[in-house]
């Protein structure tokens, strides 16, 4: 175990916000305490869980478990939890990572070296996505393929490009930079806090680096259709401009591929569009067959939820009036791919 308890400062403080995460927190913490090659400390922020989250966290010697306190008005639950953890920081770097992640051996030391090598003040990884159920297999490849089109990692990592993005499941950021841009307190109302934080860092003139990182971290985001539906309802309308138009276009493309499947070309084009999401050939094929209309439905559902001011996430309801705080319109428009 590589949790630093002495007076020697840690290089990295790992902050894990957790709300009712008993199904996955144990595997996450086991992978984090086993990291080697870097002085680290782990802070779990138990965000008013009603399950065994706190008990599991406290079962790991050396892991600090704290409470974020009451949720202030105008804050999202995750931002309130993360900022509570950030206040406990002693390391030069912060790693914000979700409770549903599993970190490969030595990945933290490699990530820190990568950030320094590339001069990045913020390094974010898109984890390998583990899909098990039919709906995970059908929908996730479409979602991540569309994200790759909207936020190409090469452009996100290019200081000359205005496109900014990050994946909140893995954000390694220099503490000095985090404090300089106001941290999560500056984006307190944002449900899309990862992209908002990346935008703040890039707007400040500091470099960010973003890439797919199956070599470092993996995750299973949702374990059933209800969780998947709720999670993407929260995110999709914020991640993509013109959600209804995108839903119509993708559905039309899928219908054309189905109707002309014997001619191969439209179906092959749809397959290749989804293939960029880094899933297996078989999963991509299944997703091309069933995923686009399901993704279109989730786009539509997300848009309607924000219009009605009824976005449910982790047992909390968020309203319409806060949407402008999630991600600046300029960011959405500039993030559009050519």
The whole-number pLDDT of residue 1 equals: 41
State mean pLDDT over 134-160: 96
Virtual torsion, Cα 200, 205, 211, 215, nearest 10 deg = -100
Query: Which of 53, 20, 23 has the alpha carbon at shortest distance from 316?
Result: 20
Quick check: 138 and 180 in contact, CB under 8 A? no
Q: Which residues contact 240 (CB under 8 A, 6 or more apart)?
A: 146, 150, 246, 299
Would you tell me the crossing angle of helices 281-308 and 225-239 to the nearest 10 degrees?
70
- Structure confidence by residue, pLDDT tens digits, 274-286: 999 999 999 999 9
- Structure confidence by residue, pLDDT tens digits, 200-212: 999 999 999 999 9
- Structure confidence by residue, pLDDT tens digits, 218-272: 999 999 999 999 999 999 999 998 899 999 988 988 988 888 766 677 788 889 9
Domains of the chain with CATH codes: 12-131+150-219 (3.90.550.10), 225-321+329-334 (no CATH)
Q: Which residues of 17-31 are buried (b: 16+ CB within 10 A; e: fewer)?
A: bbbbbbebbbebbeb
Q: Which residues contact 6 (CB under 8 A, 6 or more apart)?
A: none
- Structure confidence by residue, pLDDT tens digits, 299-309: 999 999 998 88
- Portion of the chain with pLDDT greater than 90, in percent: 77
């Amino acid at each position: 175990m590589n949790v630093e308890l002495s007076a020697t400062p840690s290089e990295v403080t790992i902050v894990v916000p957790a709300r009712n995460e008993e199904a996955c927190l144990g595997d996450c913490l086991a992978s984090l305490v086993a990291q080697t090659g870097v002085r680290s400390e782990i802070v779990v922020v138990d965000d008013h869980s009603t399950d065994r989250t706190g008990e599991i966290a406290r079962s790991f010697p050396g892991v600090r478990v704290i409470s974020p306190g009451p949720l202030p008005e105008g804050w999202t639950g995750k931002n309130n939890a993360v900022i509570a953890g950030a206040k406990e920081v002693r390391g030069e770097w912060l790693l914000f990572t979700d409770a549903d992640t599993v970190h490969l051996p030595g990945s933290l030391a490699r990530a820190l070296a990568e950030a320094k090598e590339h001069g990045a003040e913020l390094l974010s990884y898109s984890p390998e996505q583990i899909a098990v159920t039919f709906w995970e297999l059908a929908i996730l490849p479409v979602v991540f393929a569309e994200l790759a089109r909207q936020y190409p990692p090469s452009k996100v990592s290019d200081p000359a490009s205005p496109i900014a993005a990050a994946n909140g499941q893995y954000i390694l950021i220099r503490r000095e930079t985090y404090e300089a841009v106001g941290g999560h307190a500056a984006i307190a109302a944002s449900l899309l806090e990862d992209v908002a934080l990346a935008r703040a860092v890039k707007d400040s003139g500091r470099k960010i680096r973003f890439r797919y990182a199956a070599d470092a971290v993996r995750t299973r985001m949702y374990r059933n259709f209800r969780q998947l539906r709720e999670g993407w309802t929260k995110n999709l309308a914020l991640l993509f401009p013109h959600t209804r138009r995108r839903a119509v276009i993708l559905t039309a493309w899928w219908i054309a591929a189905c109707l002309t499947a014997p001619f191969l070309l439209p179906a092959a084009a749809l397959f290749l569009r989804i293939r960029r999401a880094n899933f297996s050939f078989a999963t991509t094929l299944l997703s091309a067959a069933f995923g686009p209309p399901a993704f279109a439905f989730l786009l539509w559902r997300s848009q309607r939820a924000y219009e009605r001011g009824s976005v449910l996430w982790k047992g909390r309801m968020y309203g319409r009036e806060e949407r402008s705080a999630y991600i600046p319109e300029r960011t959405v428009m500039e993030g559009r791919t050519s």
